Amino acid sequence: MIKIDKLSVKFQNQVIIDDLSFTFEQGIFYGLTGASGIGKTTLLGAIAGLVPTSHGAISSDFQKLGYIFQDARLFPWMTALENVECVCHDIKKAEYYLNKLLPNAANKFPHELSGGMKQRVSIARALSYDAPLLLLDEPFKGLDEETKQFTVDAVMEFIKGRTAILVSHDYGELALCDKILKMERSPVSSLTEVKSGSTSFE
């Protein structure tokens, strides 16, 4: 469970999240959507402890979390395999997930990979960490349909029985989630549950 209690986040004088309370339950796969710039990445960052909060509290039952960032954030001086292994510290696991997401690229450096390939290395990195909570910030953006299908399959298999929050603007991706939450107004003071099958996510 992640309990968000009267959370506020602001950058300089701009209030992004204002007095937000919400509880994410264990074992549920959440989708999170809302207009560009409204605060989705900010909320994930706050949950991960990467974004400072101005008021309120976030308490979590999870000892560790995996995070697929909106940008790949790979170390440029490390190969794809080293980028995965430096997080999970388990070469077998690193090889397993990298092979699954991006075969034949273990020894390539980030500058030798396309944007979608780098993104898949970052997905392999997060999965290899084997955490009970996974935060996914638009992880499938920019992948062609075939690549997206096996990437989604790998992520869905991993998520089974875990808690996850997927940020997405994509109707098909959100339909995979158990619950879909929407940020409707800025500053964000609530998360509204929208029905799967709704055509008005945005």
Count of positions on this chain that bind ligand ATP (CB under 6 A): 11
Binding segment for ligand ATP among 33-41, 113-121, 149-157, 170-178 (CB under 6 A)?
Answer: 33-41
Torsion of CA 121, 176, 161, 125, to 10 degrees: 10
Spatial strand order of the sheet with 65-68 comes to: 65-68, 133-137, 163-167, 29-34, 179-183, 192-194
Among 37, 52, 115, 142, binds ligand ATP (CB under 6 A): 37
200 φ, ψ (degrees, to nearest 5): -120, 55
Nearer to Mg ion, 41 or 168 (CB): 41
Q: Distances from the Cα of 176 to the Cαs of 31, 81, 112, 166, 170, in angstroms?
A: 8, 29, 32, 10, 10
33 lies in the site for Mg ion, by CB under 5 A: no
What is the x/- site pattern for ligand ATP, positions 2-21, by CB under 6 A?
---------x----x-----
Among 18, 29, 30, 42, binds ligand ATP (CB under 6 A): 42
Which residues form the interface with ligand ATP (CB under 6 A)? 11, 16, 34, 36-42, 70
Which residues form the interface with Mg ion (CB under 5 A)? 41, 70
